[in-house]
Amino acid sequence: RKEVEQDPGPFNVPEGATVAFNCTYSNSASQSFFWYRQDCRKEPKLLMSVYSSGNEDGRFTAQLNRASQYISLLIRDSKLSDSATYLCVVNIQFVEAAGNKLTFGGGTRVLVKP
Amino acid sequence: NAGVTQTPKFRVLKTGQSMTLLCAQDMNHEYMYWYRQDPGMGLRLIHYSVGEGTTAKGEVPDGYNVSRLKKQNFLLGLESAAPSQTSVYFCASSATGGGSPLHFGNGTRLTVT
| Closest residue, chain A, to B38 (C-alpha) | A106
Beta strands in chain B (DSSP E): 4-7, 10-13, 19-25, 31-38, 42-49, 56-57, 65-67, 73-78, 87-94, 103-104, 108-112
Tell me whether A86 touches chain B (CB under 8 Å): no
What is the C-alpha separation between A81 and B28, in angstroms, rounded? 32
Question: Would you state the pLDDT for residue A28?
Answer: 84
Question: Block means of pLDDT (10 residues each) for chain B, length 113 residues?
Answer: 91 97 96 91 89 92 97 97 97 84 94 97
Q: What is the pLDDT of residues A27-59, one digit of tens each?
A: 888 888 999 999 998 999 999 999 889 999 999
In sequence order, the β-bridge partners of residue B56 are B48
Of A8, A31, A102, the CB nearest to B102: A102
Q: Which pLDDT tens digit goes with each residue over A74-100?
A: 999 999 999 999 999 998 765 555 556
Residue A98 has what pLDDT? 52
Which pLDDT belongs to residue B98? 66
Residue of chain B minimizing CA distance to A30: B98
pLDDT at residue A95, rounded to an integer: 55
Amino acid A47: pLDDT: 96
* d(C-alpha B12, C-alpha B19), whole Å: 10
Among B102, B103, B109, B110, pick the best mutation site for testing chain A contact (most A Cβ within 10 A): B102
**CA of B31: which chain A residue's CA is closest?**
A99
- In chain A, the percentage of residues whose pLDDT exceeds 90 is 75
Smallest CA-to-CA distance from A111 within A12, A41, A1 is with: A12
A78 touches B at CB < 8 Å: no
Task: Please name which of B111, B58, B57, B67 lies closest in space to residue B89, comparing C-alpha atoms.
Answer: B111
* C-alpha B56: how far from chain center: 12
Give me the pLDDT at residue B35, please: 95
Q: Which of B54, B59, B98 sits opposite A100 (nearest CB)?
A: B98
The minimum CA-CA distance between B8 and chain A, rounded to whole Å, is: 15
**Residue A81: DSSP 8-state:** G
Q: H or E stretch including A45?
A: strand A45-50
